[in-house]
Structures are given as structure tokens and as C-alpha cells.
Amino acid sequence: MLLNPETQRYEIKGVDVVQLTQEYGSPLFVYDSATIVKQYSKMIKSLRKVKKVKINYACKALTNISILRILKNLGAGLDAVSYQEIQMGLTAGFAAHDIIFTPNSVSIQELEAAMDLGVKINIDNIETLEYMGMNHPDMPLCIRINPHIMAGGHAKISVGHIDSKFGISIHQMPLVERLVKTLNIKIEGVHMHTGSDILDVDVFSHAATLLFNVARNFDDLKYLDFGSGFKVKYKEHDFETDMEEFGEMMSQRFNAFCEETGKDLTLAFEPGKFIVSESGFFLARTNVVKQTTSAVFAGIDSGFNHMIRPMFYGAHHDIMNLSNPNGKSKIYTVVGYICETDTFGWNRKINEIKEGDILCFKNAGAYCFSMSSNYNSRYRPAEILIHHGEAHLIRERECFEDLLRNQTDPKLEFQTEIL
């Protein structure tokens, strides 16, 4: 998003952003397809020395069909964590063999249903692995390893530590190997994911050592999946994972492993946030500016029902006043209209805010709309995709009928007397 020096209006690829809220209302999610392409290309280029690479987009980050189609056309596969995400991927045009199902704590029925669709299956517990070996001996599987590495910028987004519910403990590999041999299970992939917002390339290197050691024990391997967790910038002077450094390290180590073992493997990753986070902008209108004895609150027409990350993870999203690009900076605490504590940012330096001003939250492409809800019976926002300089409505704003859509009204005679 850039400020046009002639009009003094913020634009994305020539599209006036504030004008979008006048046309489609607020709050509003806006995505820039060019940023998605840039991030995907950055990752592919960083691994250019590896013969076979597969990027499986972790679609839980943002599942809009239009976003999925962009990534499909770029050549990405899909990482899905639910049967419904698989259906979304198939609807978007992904081939079943390009979708890997990486569930956690799902029922056998859901697993069986996913298998019927023909997708790859990633197993993350011993019991399910044994069930699959007993009941589907010809089904090639991937196994998810918990490497017991505490990685990531926050405890809630570190999923590879010893107390995590995700994956099969690396210390249980002797049992896995025994089951594989006894039941003649075909293991085609080995997978791990340690967490999110990982800045240090050495964390990935350490994880690679563990995964390589596990991979040596399986003869039918076709791919190794190293998950994701790359850090993106959340602030103006923030740090991000150095993808060139990462790509050089991972390429060298992966190629050496393939040469040493004589295996012709695919190197796979499953980025979500890295691909779409920076493409997204969340726009909200200021309802009120409220001075109290301790703070100046800017209250907007949204809350954690639309963007829960700041409240749930303590995530930082830069906030800009698009309506006053040259205004004097003041200190505000930006809050929402939900009847809960829903603070987007404490004591933020923002250009002077007035009622009706449009505020913009950056890095709103990942885990924002996809984690939204109808709490307080509020509607979920519309979504706009800016593609080749044109704005496209890719999800309509909800209305009251949407809140009632799945409710039933049996016209019962309910007890109305006080007991």
C-alpha cells in the first residue's frame, strides 16, 4: 500500500483503498494478489538448487476460493487440516493427489472420508498408524514427527515441543518402525512442523538433522515435509526469516542427504502465514474517539469477532489512519465494539483520528478472516481481492438472514411463567 503523492490517497496497485470502504462498506478485508505471488516466488527461488520442490499452502490461514485458485495456478499443492478444507481445495481445482491431509484428533470416520477422496494422508499418532496398517495395508502414508523443539515467537504458536498435542514423539520412533515392519505399512513421507515466527535458520537446520535421521529408516520415501514457520515482518523495522540464507542451508543439506542415501526425494513445505499474511489489509471505520482519565480510545466498527489475533496471540498489527495521511501523530488505544475486552493495540502512535476515519491494520491476510465469528450477532465482513489493478468482490458481507440461515423455528409453546 502506497500513498499517491498527487492525490494524497492510499492505493494498492492504483486502487483507492478508502474508496473501497465507500463502495463495499466497513469493516473490510482487502488482499493484494501480487504480494501472494511475490511471497510464493521468493520461496521457490530460495530453493532453486533442489531438483524437486513442492510448496503445499496451509490453507487454514485463508481459505477463500479465489486465493486458493491463485496458488493452484502458481503450482502449489494444499495442506488441509479438515475434511471441509479438502473440499474447498477440490472446489478450487486442486487435484486430490496435490492435497495432503494433516489432521489432529479427528475421528476415524473423517480420516476414511478423506481417503475416499484420494488425498495424501499424514498420520500424527501411534493408534491411528496401527489402525491404518490393520485396515488399509496398501495405503501409502506420511507420518508427522514431534521433534521436541521449542520454536516460534509465542508459546501458543510453538507446536513441536514435548507437551504439544501434535505429532508422534521422536522418542517413539522404535515403536513406529516396529509397526511399519510388522504390518508392512508403506511410508511415503515424513513430516514435522515446529511452530511459527521462527527467525533463526539454525532452528530449521537442527530440525532437518532430526528428520533426516528418521527418514533413513524408511525405504519407500517419496518426500520430506519440513512444515513452515517462517517469520514475516509485523513492524516497520521488524526482522523476518532470511529466505536466501534458509534456502542455501536447506538446499545443501537436502541434496547431500539424497546423494548419501541414493533417494530421489521431493522437498516439501507447508507455508500459510508466509504466503498470505502481508497481502492482507483490514479496514475499519472509527465510531468514536473517547478520552478517559488514562487513555484516548479510538473505537472502531469491528472487534475480535473479525480479527482475534491481537487478543488471542498478543500479535502486533501496524495501524494506520488512511483518512489523515499527513496528520499530526497522537497516542491512541484502538478498541472494538464487542462487549468484551477487545483491544487491537495499546498506546499506538497514529495520525490524529476523528470519527469516521478509516483505520488500516496491516498483515491481515493470515488467520484473520479465517478465525472470524458471529459473536455478539455481528456480521462477518466482505473480502476484496485486488488483481492486476482491479478490485474484485470475492466474498459478500453477511446480513441478518445469514445469522438465521441454519436456525429452526418449531413454533413450540415454551413455558413463560416464573417457576
The enclosing domain of 348 has a CATH number of 2.40.37.10
Same domain, 189 and 146: yes
Extract long-range pairs of 402-410: CB within 8 Å, 24+ residues apart.
403/374, 403/377, 403/379
Give the per-residue pLDDT at 149.
72
Compute the distance between CA of residue 158 and CA of residue 137 in angstroms, rounded to an integer: 33
My answer on whether 255 and 356 are in the same domain is no
In a domain, 52, yes or no: no
The rounded distance, in Å, linking the Cα atoms of 399 and 229 is 36
User: Is 20 in the same domain as 148?
Assistant: no
User: pTM of this prediction?
Assistant: 0.92
**CA dist., res. 318 & res. 9, Å (int):** 18
Q: 220 is in which domain, residue-wise?
A: 63-271
Q: CATH number, domain at 79?
A: 3.20.20.10
Q: Which of 59, 142, 258, 339 is catalytic?
A: 339
Tens digit of each residue's pLDDT, the chain (419 residues): 999 999 999 999 999 999 999 999 999 999 999 999 999 999 999 999 999 999 999 999 999 999 999 999 999 999 999 999 999 999 999 999 999 999 998 999 999 999 999 999 999 999 999 999 999 999 999 999 988 875 444 444 344 446 678 889 999 999 999 999 999 999 999 999 776 566 577 888 888 899 999 999 999 999 999 988 888 888 777 778 889 999 999 999 999 999 999 999 999 999 999 999 999 999 999 999 999 999 999 999 999 999 999 999 899 999 999 999 999 999 999 999 999 989 999 999 999 999 999 999 999 999 999 999 999 999 999 999 999 999 999 999 999 999 999 999 887 776 666 66
Residue 154: per-residue pLDDT = 46
In total, how many domains does the chain have? 2
Q: What pairing do the DSSP bridges indicate for beta strands 141-146 and 187-192?
A: parallel
In whole angstroms, give the CA distance from residue 210 to residue 191. 11
Q: Is residue 190 part of a domain?
A: yes
- Angstrom distances, CA of residue 160 to CA of 23, 147, 168, 196: 44, 6, 10, 10
Cis peptide before 27 (omega within 30 of 0): yes
339 as an active site residue: the answer is yes
pLDDT reported for residue 172: 93
